[in-house]
Amino acid sequence: MGLGGMAMCPVNARVSHWWALIVAAVCLALWGGPARAASPLRYEIYMVQKGDTVENIAARFGVEAVLIRTVNGLKPGQALSPGQSLAVVLPGLKKTEAAERPSASEPPPQPKEVPPHYAVTAAGCRITESCGGDAVLFEPPAGSRVIVSKEQGDWWGILMADGSVGWTPKSSLRLTDEAVSAEAIGKMLRQAGRADVVEYAKRFLGTPYKYGGRLPYNTDCSLFVQTVFRAFGVRLPRTARAQAKVGRPVPLDQMLPGDRLYFADRKGRVNHTGIYIGNLQFIHASSAAGRVTISSLGSRRYWSRLYCVRR
């Protein structure tokens, strides 16, 4: 039986390793004692690839490196050659071990609440909509502080600004001892309320438009949206194209005030953004108007270019 991604040698090569299997049976009896000797014997004939070592082969198969050396008559430190065949002996599971291993039909572990604590993100941290999912909600820079509120297996649940939970591998965070009170969480969620986002955004009405702008003097569309959401603890990338990849996608019939809108050009490239304020209106830094203004999403100019909505 082969392992995915591992090169196996042809059947005639296995014949030359029967001697290794006989030695292996003896080794297993000595190595694992009576319990392992009674287990069914399984083996693989592995063809050495460039860069392989006994240690990394052993790690892939989940066996001891010294057992591979003993079975194949290798001396400690002896280098391997590409194309060389090795017998890798795998002791079978004992009945008690097989019974303890979860079956494929068993459901995954359920999320559980944990006392909220601050955590610090590592480089490459990605917060997704579900454990192992592809829908990325946010990619915080290394060193960002987030709040851990749930746990599921090897994943931490991160409290998002809208009260939902995103997920990231535990290896992506360094958990601190700093607890977060329910009052602090409640205040954070209230501050991130969509009505407050809209009201804050309206403070910028009339600000002159300038590509690559510099607030408070002038602004472009993505700087405007980035600045508004930063005030509520939500860190967004600088460009509209990058921002459009962050957050939870929202169906058009479920848009709410405070959702972010992204528009694309005729080639499908995201090049504009704004904030929905309700009643098919949105606020944005418009190059056409030359300032931060309110426009109708129902107009052909914008509705035909609407690329996605994020929350």
- Told to judge if 308 belongs to the known catalytic residues of this protein, a careful annotator would answer no
Active-site residue identified among 9, 17, 125, 272: 272
Query: Which tokens belong to 129?
Result: 């909509």
- Told to judge if 125 belongs to the known catalytic residues of this protein, a careful annotator would answer no
CA nearest to 136, candidates 158, 108, 112, 103: 158
Q: CB burial class (10 A; 0-12, 13-18, 19+) of residue 267?
A: exposed
β pairing state of 136-138 and 145-152: unpaired
- Told to judge if 131 belongs to the known catalytic residues of this protein, a careful annotator would answer no
Quick one: how many helices (H) and strands (E) in the chain?
10, 14
What are 145's strand-pairing partners?
Answer: 120
Q: What angle do CA 119, 122, 123 make, to 5 degrees?
A: 155
Give the count of alpha carbons within 13 A of 38, CB side only. 6
Handedness of CA 123, 127, 132, 134 (dihedral sign): negative
CA nearest to 119, candidates 137, 144, 140, 136: 144
Query: Which tokens belong to 222?
Result: 């993505």
Active-site residue identified among 9, 17, 125, 221: 221
Active-site residue identified among 17, 27, 284, 308: 284
Catalytic residues: 221, 272, 284
